[in-house]
Structure 1
Amino acid sequence: MAMSALRQLVRERQPWIVSRASLESGKKETPMPLRDHFRPPVENKHSWDELYGMWPAVIVQQLFPILPEGYVAAPRLHLGTAFEIDVSTYERDEPARQERPGDGNGGVAVAAWAPPKPTLTVETELPDQDEYEVRVYDARHGRRLVAAIEIVSPSNKDRPESRRAFVAKVAALLQRDVSVSLVDIVTIRQFNLYADLLELIGRSDPMVGAAPPALYAVTARGRKRVRKRPLLDTWFYPMALGQPLPTLPIWLDVDLGVFLNLETSYEQTCHVLRIV
């Protein structure tokens, strides 16, 4: 999709689902509302990670027919808690091997390595977060990452160090000219990672306001300029329970992008999981 057409549609900010039948009849389909997946009654029947585990794959299916030739999308999930359990199991099953100088097949003995004592030893827990995302690649140029769609999880917002790590990841992607979209439906953590990103770079968005909404979707992309400071373009959409989800622009190149209707993929995921 050309940049001019994409910008025109972005300005309209239509959250509605428009099907072919609706276009022919001139009527819009009724959008379904955003649910609270972290509190009753939905939480009593469905765990939030069921939605998160399936939503990226549905987004990939949605992008498949609209991505230009040469671009591919793939889901990416990383469960930080599961990773920690795997490591501890490995350490129990495989005790550290101890070797002494000169042991073995008659080799020459070497002096034992005696490292200096550390200048600081403190207790810490390096954040290893859950990641639910969709990545879009340009397969024509060595599978270059061009866009990332991040579905914010509770672990991304639960502690200051987790939020800093997530925002640093987003900033690093933007520096690599990767379009980044955040979709945050976490109702139990009242933080806005987009606002944290703006604070990191010393900027603000009037649409965010003094009290940033905890539920939102946003797309950000960096634009480099010759002999000038780079620009950051953002498209921010506050969300609310009981309201439809927005449509996000997903940038593939400077003048090339597609639209991701979050409402469509969200409703399809809820339908398959029987989340009403």
Structure 2
Amino acid sequence: MPLHHWPNPRVPWRSFHNHWIVRIVEQLNGVLPPGFRARPTELIVGIEPDVLLLQEADRPGAQPAANQPELAGATFTVTLPPPAELPMVGVYSAYDTSRLVAIIELISPGNKDRAEAVQAFVEKVVFLLQDGVHVMTVDIISLPRMPIRQALLIRLGLNEQALGRDRLWVSSYCALPGEDPRAHLTVREWAYDFAVGDPLPTPPLFLRADQLRVMVDLEASYQATLQAGRYEPA
């Protein structure tokens, strides 16, 4: 089934959004290597990602897999300064010593309905990347058309790379901090664009700076959400 227009007059976005988060978490927990786990929305130091990827503090995590899917070259590589304060996130909570290693953000209409909202979202992503947290952003919202990815590229010091007026996108960012946390770090992006009527991509979600990753089948979780929730978008 192809991607629908969102927001959709027959399906409340918040309901679908929350249901999709759960399906993505379930899918990830079925493929994550030992030492990692996914959790749904949680408020952390004023930031509320949709999906959190955690690494248990007392376990080193999986070794790099020899049979990981090959990736095409990164869309871009850029260098960022560290945040003003380190660490920003670090430990997940006082009751769970797992560390936040990655997040997934499902962009909502409210993230792109005005310039201030776009800028707030961009700053959140940059702040997380500066702290060494890998980020995936998923935009299936065809209206409004505020260009979040273009704004993010400009914030990262790159020339705006237009995807086309009707293109939607998924971007996966891998943060590569150096040995010295006070030094600059490198960010690489893998971007996938598509349109209403297309299947969703299966992008990588990075778990470590050595590019240990899992592939996120967004199309499968999208279809599972429609079926489980009996959603019938126009």
Let me know the Cα RMSD of the aligned residues: 2.4
Deviates more, 1:141-150 or 1:174-183: 141-150
Higher Rg of the two aligned structures: 1
Instruction: Work out whether residues 189 and 214 of structure 1, in 8 Å CA contact, stay in contact via their aligned partners in 2.
Output: no
- SS where residue 6 of structure 2 aligns? coil
Instruction: Work out whether residues 219 and 249 of structure 1, in 8 Å CA contact, stay in contact via their aligned partners in 2.
Output: yes
1:179, 1:212 → 2: CA distance? 27
Other-structure match for 2:2: 33
- What runs of 5+ residues in structure 2 fail to find an aligned partner? 59-96
2:159, 2:213 → 1: CA distance? 25
Other-structure match for 2:201: 246
Instruction: Work out whether residues 247 and 263 of structure 1, in 8 Å CA contact, stay in contact via their aligned partners in 2.
Output: yes
Other-structure match for 1:54: 19
Report deviation, 1:225.
3.8
Matched, 1:191 2:160: no
Distance 1:61 1:203, change over 3 A: same
Distance 1:77 1:37, change over 3 A: farther
1:182, 1:163 → 2: CA distance? 13
1:200, 1:212 → 2: CA distance? 20
Instruction: Work out whether residues 190 and 214 of structure 1, in 8 Å CA contact, stay in contact via their aligned partners in 2.
Output: no
Report deviation, 1:269.
0.2
Report deviation, 1:224.
2.6
Give the 5 Å matches for 1:1-276: 32-39=1-8, 43=9, 45-76=10-41, 133-140=50-57, 142-204=97-159, 208-209=161-162, 211=164, 215-225=168-178, 229-255=184-210, 256-276=212-232
Please report the TM-score for the alignment, with normalisation by the length of structure 2.
0.73
1:235, 1:204 → 2: CA distance? 16
Other-structure match for 1:121: none
Report deviation, 1:53.
1.4
Instruction: Work out whether residues 52 and 132 of structure 1, in 8 Å CA contact, stay in contact via their aligned partners in 2.
Output: no
Q: How many residues align?
A: 189
Deviations 1:141-191 (CA, angstroms, capped at 9, x unpaired): 531111100000111111111111111000010011111001111111112
Letter in 1 for 2:128: L
Instruction: Work out whether residues 132 and 152 of structure 1, in 8 Å CA contact, stay in contact via their aligned partners in 2.
Output: no
Report deviation, 1:275.
2.6
Distance 1:272 1:36, change over 3 A: same
Distance 1:261 1:48, change over 3 A: same
